[in-house]
Amino acid sequence: MNTRPSGGERTAIVTGAARGIGAATAMALAVRGIAPALFVRDAGAAAGIADKIRARGVACRVEACDVADYGSVRAAVARTADAWGRLDVVVNNAGTVEPMGFIADTDPAEWARAYAVNVIGAYHVVREALPLLLREGGAVVNLSTGAAHTPRDGWSAYCGCKAALAMFTRSIAKEYGDKGVFAYGLQPGLVDTEMQVSIRRAGINEISRIPREQLDPPERSANAIAWLAAECPADLAGQDLHVSHPAFADIVVPAQAETR
């Protein structure tokens, strides 16, 4: 079982990597030779994608981690650092669209939980990863959304969280870009994931009425994320980039990989 990267092999942390965009991103990084550590709440849920990555001859770790819990993140990053000795990429993919509902109807604890996962969780991972990223230089990619810039009925928590995350991306770029750590936001658009299933079930705004056949596969966003991680384009640092941005138009994927 290949769990340790070879000498000089770049490594990454991908949160929420058990399925959807997170799992596709872990595979896209592996295709580019970047060994991913899968940070997931349920380690067993990521076993399948980890096995596929190792079958390609790329190292992979699975870490049980709740990004909203700083102690959990700190321990998981420390274990990864001890095992691999380096870190080059962080992909903050873990997130929740809940609670969905008009403001007066939402539960305060669920609203706070959304910020704990979507914003504070990303901060926890970056905070612990920065000393490692600063050694070699690298990339932070935060999963964003158009909802960070356009309010949607029933998504007050999600829109607010992602707006805060977009500013966090800019802050990382401003504070650490000249030290070789480049940060990007990636807006995946409408993707065929479990989150979209929840959105359709809620039926609360126009996004919920978009047919599933019009949704993108997770691999499109995953390839854009992996390209940012591999290339670290300085001119795009700090920006919140939609997957349709011209920079992603000519991405050459080293090899196709099945993630679902």
Distances (CA, A) of 39 to 21, 60, 109, 119, 246: 13, 11, 24, 16, 30
DSSP three-state, residue 61: strand
Annotated catalytic residues are 158, 162
Nearest to 238 by CA among 107, 137, 140: 140
Sheet with 89-92, side-by-side order of all strands: 61-64, 35-40, 11-15, 89-92, 138-143, 181-187, 240-242
Please give the Cα distance from 189 to 124 (Å, whole number).
25
Distance CA 8, CA 149 (A): 39
